[in-house]
């Protein structure tokens, strides 16, 4: 039988992108500001979420989707604050995709939510390739990881709207060159907003809270 | 596990296109992946061989064209390959740059019969 070549020219993850658009429409319909939080394991995703809940839960109705390879350790911490939370275990998968998030959304009281945090699986490579339907992509880089990470994971730093530079309380003990870090991150991504913070001491957190509150107000006025 | 999910997506896309064309068998699948896409060809082929069993894609060969990372200076528009720790423009030393290739992850074509 004759061999025939069929031109495809389509993104391999096109079906994920389409599902992410559906999720986004659903979230927009409910007026929810959605933040996709990405970082390497242990950079402070859960700490940032918990601190932000404590500060903003009187001003905004918050919900969380927790993505982890296994366990519900993070979801339990959020649940303890009385915040609606859905745990997604990816069973070995290294990222959340739009289909998993769709299931998560169906298990949240969307009509009673203003702000949704999606905590992605700790990983700096693939989460970046999977849109989920978020408004804001936020990545956390923590100082002990080193100032060279933007060279190693440039796509992640190029695509994010917000970089939270966490664990600034450790600066005196480590050789993290913040100036060099900023130079390469802003070079790749001129519109990025960088918040140097310590989730542990609270240093720098007010600037992040204010920015997020302004983004929430902006969303409500749309 | 990244490759498992990519492989599932590419198998379903290839099967969809082959079925539309009423093909009996998929011989090969031509993919374009950038260095920054995090896709390892050998891993994808390994998963593909396992999950395509019993479909018309069983035995298909995956052909990868790898795109190197190239960045462009936002000031003088020079395109260059970045060094490990130096992403400033070699022409004008500008630090504002954008990634132009290296992030590809798409299916170019499939060969069927």
pLDDT for A202 equals 98
Nearest by CB: B106 against A2, A11, A126:
A11
Chain A residues with CB under 8 Å of B100 CB are: none
pLDDT for A59 equals 94
User: What's the domain range around B82?
Assistant: 2-112
Contact state of B13 with A16 under an 8 Å Cβ cutoff = no
Closest residue of chain B to A150, computed from CA coordinates: B85
Which residues 27-46 of B are in CB contact (within 8 Å) with A? 27, 31, 36-38
Q: How far is CA A196 from the centre of its chain?
A: 16
What is the average pLDDT across B7-34?
96
Three-class SS string for A120-169?
CCCCCCHHHHCCCCCCEEEEEEEHHHCCCHHHHCHHHHHHCCEEEEECHH
Nearest by CB: B105 against A1, A11, A95:
A11
Chain A residues with CB under 8 Å of B103 CB are: 155
pLDDT for B1 equals 56
Which strands make up the sheet holding A115-119, listed edge to edge? A85-89, A62-68, A115-119, A33-39, A136-142, A162-166, A193-196
- CATH code, B32: 3.30.2320.80
Which residues 74-103 of A are in CB contact (within 8 Å) with B? 90, 92-95, 97
Chain A residues with CB under 8 Å of B24 CB are: 1
Q: How many structural domains is chain B composed of? A: 1
pLDDT for B113 equals 95
pTM confidence score: 0.93
What is the average pLDDT across A44-63?
96
Q: Is the Cβ of B85 closer than 8 Å to some Cβ of chain A?
A: yes
- Pairwise CA distance, residues A121 & A163, whole Å: 17
Residue A112 has pLDDT above 90, yes or no: yes
Residue B38 has pLDDT above 90, yes or no: no
**Model confidence pLDDT, tens digit, residues B49-108:** 999 999 999 999 999 999 999 999 999 999 999 988 888 999 999 999 999 999 999 999
In this structure, which long-range contacts are made by residues A219-222, counting pairs with CB atoms below 8 Å and at least 24 apart in sequence?
A: A219/A31, A219/A32, A219/A33, A219/A135, A220/A31, A220/A114, A222/A31
**Structural domains of chain A ordered from first start:** 14-220 (3.40.50.300)
**Model confidence pLDDT, tens digit, residues A138-194:** 999 999 999 999 999 999 999 999 999 999 999 999 999 999 999 999 999 999 999
Contact state of A10 with B106 under an 8 Å Cβ cutoff = yes
| Phi, psi torsion values for A128, nearest 5 degrees | -65, -25
pLDDT averaged over every residue in chain B: 94
Distance of residue A64 Cα from the nearest chain B Cα, in angstroms: 24
Residue A197: count of CB within 10 angstroms of its CB: 27
């Amino acid at each position: 039988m004759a061999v025939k070549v069929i031109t495809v020219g389509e993104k391999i993850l096109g079906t994920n992108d389409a599902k992410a658009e559906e999720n986004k429409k659903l979230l927009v319909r409910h007026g929810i500001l959605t933040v996709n939080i990405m970082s390497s394991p242990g950079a402070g995703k859960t700490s940032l979420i918990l601190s932000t809940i404590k500060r903003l839960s009187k001003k905004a109705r918050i919900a969380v989707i927790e993505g982890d390879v296994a366990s519900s350790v993070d979801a339990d911490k959020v649940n303890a604050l009385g915040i609606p939370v859905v745990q997604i275990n990816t069973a070995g998968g290294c990222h959340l995709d739009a289909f998993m998030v769709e299931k998560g959304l169906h298990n949240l009281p969307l009509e009673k939510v203003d702000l949704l945090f999606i905590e992605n699986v700790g990983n700096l490579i693939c989460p970046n390739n999977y849109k989920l339907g978020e408004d804001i992509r936020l990545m956390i880089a923590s100082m002990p990881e080193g100032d060279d990470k933007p060279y190693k994971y440039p796509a992640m730093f190029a695509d994010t709207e917000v970089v939270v530079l966490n664990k600034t309380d450790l600066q005196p003990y480590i050789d993290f060159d913040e100036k060099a870090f900023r130079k390469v991150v802003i070079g790749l991504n001129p519109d990025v907003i960088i918040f140097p913070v310590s989730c542990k001491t609270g240093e720098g957190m007010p600037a992040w809270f204010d920015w997020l509150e302004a983004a929430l107000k902006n969303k409500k006025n749309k | 596990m990244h490759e498992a999910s990519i492989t599932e997506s590419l198998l379903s896309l290839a099967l969809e296109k082959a079925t539309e064309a009423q093909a009996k068998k998929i011989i090969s699948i031509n993919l374009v992946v950038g260095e920054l896409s995090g896709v390892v060809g050998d891993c994808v082929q390994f998963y593909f061989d396992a999950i395509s069993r019993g479909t018309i894609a069983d035995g298909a060969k995956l052909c990868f064209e790898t795109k190197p990372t190239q960045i462009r200076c936002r000031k003088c528009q020079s395109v260059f390959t970045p060094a490990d720790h130096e992403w400033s423009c070699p022409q004008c030393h500008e630090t504002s740059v954008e990634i132009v290739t290296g992030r590809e992850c798409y299916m170019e074509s499939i060969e069927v019969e």
